[in-house]
């Protein structure tokens, strides 16, 4: 099952020391929905969740991946962030 979170979150693709990163700024207003979606994803109750990027029509999908790798794929109107189980453990602390 996939979940659509009707929240708008600023997301920025940046490069730090040659490493591509995704900077997600979760405001206090959206924090409970963000944490709930991460927990549902970590527990395997959903396959992925999607939200809107602030000031854009771009959709951001966060999915749980297999193995130890994290991945970011981007096209014109959709960005997919795949997180490993280890990364989800870290994000849920």
> Going from the N-terminus, what domains does the chain have, and what CATH number goes with each?
2-91 (3.30.1360.230)
Q: What pTM does this model have?
A: 0.79
| The two three-digit tokens of residue 88, written as one number | 């989800």
Say if residues 57 and 40 touch (Cβ distance below 8 Å).
Answer: no
Per-residue pLDDT tens digits for 49-75: 998 877 777 888 999 988 788 888 888
Confidence tier at 46 by pLDDT (50, 70, 90):
very high
Between the CA of residue 6 and those of 16, 19, 56, 59, what are the distances in Å? 30, 30, 14, 11
pLDDT in the model for residue 93: 54
Give the span between the Cα atoms of 65 and 82, in whole angstroms. 5
């Amino acid at each position: 099952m996939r979940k659509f979170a009707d929240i708008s979150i600023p997301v920025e693709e940046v490069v730090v020391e040659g490493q591509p990163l995704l900077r997600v700024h979760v405001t206090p207003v959206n924090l409970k929905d963000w944490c709930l979606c991460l927990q549902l994803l970590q527990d395997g109750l959903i396959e992925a969740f999607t939200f809107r990027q602030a000031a854009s029509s771009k959709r951001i999908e966060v999915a749980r991946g297999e193995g130890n790798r994290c991945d970011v794929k981007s096209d014109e109107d959709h960005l997919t962030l795949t997180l490993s189980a280890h990364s989800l453990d870290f994000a849920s602390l």
